[in-house]
Amino acid sequence: MSLTPSYAMPQGAQLSLLDKTVTVASWLLGCGVFLTVGWMALRPDDPQGAVSVLTRGGPLKTLLQAAALSSVAAAVGTVLAGRRLSDAGTFAAAVGLAAVSLRGGTVATLLVSGAEGSGYGEHGLAIRFAAESLGWFGVVVMALLVSALAARWCFGDSEASPAADPLRLLASRRLAACDAPRLGPALFGVSPARQTAPRDGLVHTLITAGVGVMALGLLSKGLGTRSIQHGQVCFGVFVGVAVAATMAYRFVPVRSPLWSILAVPLIALTGYLWAALRPAEPGLPPNMPSSHFLRVLPIQYVGVGTVAALTAFWYVAKEAYGGAVDPAHKKRPAPKRAG
In 34-121, which ranges are continuous DSSP H helix?
A: 39-42, 59-81, 88-101, 108-115
Which tens digits make up the pLDDT trace of 66-80? 999 999 999 999 988
**What's the pTM?**
0.86
Tens digit of pLDDT per residue, the chain (339 long)? 434 344 333 333 466 777 788 888 888 988 999 999 999 999 998 888 999 999 988 899 999 999 999 999 999 999 888 777 889 999 999 999 999 999 999 998 888 876 555 556 788 899 999 999 999 999 999 999 999 998 888 776 545 444 444 445 455 568 899 999 999 888 887 888 888 999 999 999 999 999 999 999 898 877 766 788 999 999 999 999 999 999 999 999 998 999 999 999 999 999 999 999 987 777 777 778 888 899 999 999 999 999 999 999 988 876 544 433 333 333 334 444 444
Domain presence at residue 332: no
Domain presence at residue 130: yes
Domain coverage including residue 271: 17-326
- Residue 172's pLDDT is what? 54
Cα 149 from Cα 153, distance rounded (Å): 6
Cα 188 from Cα 129, distance rounded (Å): 33
Domain presence at residue 105: yes
- Residue 325's pLDDT is what? 31
Domain presence at residue 231: yes
| Domains in the chain, number | 1
Domain presence at residue 253: yes
C-beta contacts of 317-320 below 8 A and 24+ residues apart = 317/5, 317/9, 317/170, 317/174, 318/9, 320/5, 320/8, 320/9, 320/253
Domain presence at residue 101: yes
Could you give the 3-state DSSP secondary structure of residue 89? Answer: helix
Domain presence at residue 339: no
Domain presence at residue 84: yes
Amino acid at 83: R
What residues have CB less than 8 Å from 137, skipping those under 6 apart?
Answer: 264, 265, 268, 302
